[in-house]
Amino acid sequence: MKRNKKYLPAFIFLGILVLSACAPMIAQSDASLEQPAVATISIETPAIVEEETSFSSPQPTAIGWELEVVAQGLEIPWSMIFPAENRILVSERTGAIRQVVDGKLIPDPIFVFEEVRARDEAGLMSLALHPQYTENALLYACYTTSGNGSSIITRVARLIDEGDTMQFERVIIDNIPAARFHAGCRIQFGPDGMLYVSTGDALNTDLPQDITSLAGKILRVTPDGEIPADNPLPDSPVYSLGHRNPQGLAWDVVNGNMYSSEHGPSGFDGPGGGDEINLITPGGNYGWPLGSHDNVPQGTNGPLIQFTPAEAPASLLFYDDDRLPFFKGNLFFGALRGEGLVRLIISENGNGEVEIEQVEKIVDNVGRVRDVAAGPDGSIYFVTSNRDGRGALQDGDDKIFRIYSTYE
């Protein structure tokens, strides 16, 4: 693994009060601080060392793609999934799952999690489809809810999609430590059919290095919430540790590489910036809170790339479709603080080391971008998060955008 380019600091921003977290529990057979509230910024060509590479915003028509609004009027959307060619399910942080059918946002939610506690960054977060969704109609959701006393926890639950309605089936993972900030939580099925769950440190820096805690980790469980026999730690759902607030997961299905995006320190817990793109290995320790930025303690894994000033990468996509051929094999993340959609061109050298060759912001002027995903039509979709109290509202926010090919 090779760490490539690094970005020089330009902004230091303030943190927030530290809250405590609660103890974890795995359901067996049943049942970031993204960034603190600051003035938003637009990143223009940051200073770069080691190589002359910079963000740029090419004109879409110059490389054969266009951008369009698919839906608007959403309330802090967090995640998108695509059960069918003409249907998008979107989670809203306040607890609702909304539908976009045939390009139209259905006014009433298809499902509402009444137990969701939505506060600051916490609430309903990621959605994922079961690998056999077309046969079993199962989908998954990750959200924060009440724990013991005044605390909150993160929970992963499974639902049954009945088309016009949804039914809550059962809890898959429970009692993941959470807080108003650093709750995570991205859920994604890997190529191996296992469910991966990214979790934040819940504002408790003791937890990411504690292998008995589910906080500050990437977890790996079966679709039923059980612990796979081949996990790196025996009888543990922990797949990797030492994470601060990872919110993006993606796989290169050709060579099997797994990537994550992670939010770096926010001033109160370290110098601002240090956002990371990581190559994830089973049992890997990604260093938090032992190190960040260019400080990689012995025995921990350094990032492929770190971003200072902060971008706040809130999602991750590995695009692997021929319908946007100029983007095939690239990573994308939605930038909250950086406000836009960022593309990373990656390569693998003869020694199997992954490198970041180029970074560019391909979409800006839309505000804070939360999730990015590939649709069944081969287009790239992303959602804004301008109604979260940290961004400047634009007409129609929040929106779903679509990047589609203009090639014949």
pLDDT score for 408: 62
Strand partners, 356: 346
Token pair in block for residue 42: 């637009």
pLDDT at 19: 34
Residue-wise pLDDT for 379-408, tens only, equals 999 999 999 999 999 999 999 999 999 976
* pLDDT for residue 49: 27
**Residue of 137, 136, 140 whose CA lies nearest to 128:** 140
Beta-bridge partners for 99: 89
**H/E segment holding residue 366:** none
Q: 């994470």: which residue's tokens?
A: 243
Domains within the chain, CATH numbers bracketed: 6-405 (2.120.10.30)
Q: Give the pLDDT score at 352.
A: 77
What pLDDT score does 333 carry? Answer: 98
Dihedral class, residue 63 (left if φ above 0, else alpha if ψ from -120 to 50, else beta): alpha
**Largest Cα–Cα distance of the chain, in whole Å?**
59
Q: What distance in Å separates the CA atoms of residue 239 and residue 316, rounded to the nearest whole number?
A: 18
Name the stretches of the chain with pLDDT < 70: 1-62, 408
Confidence (pTM)? 0.86
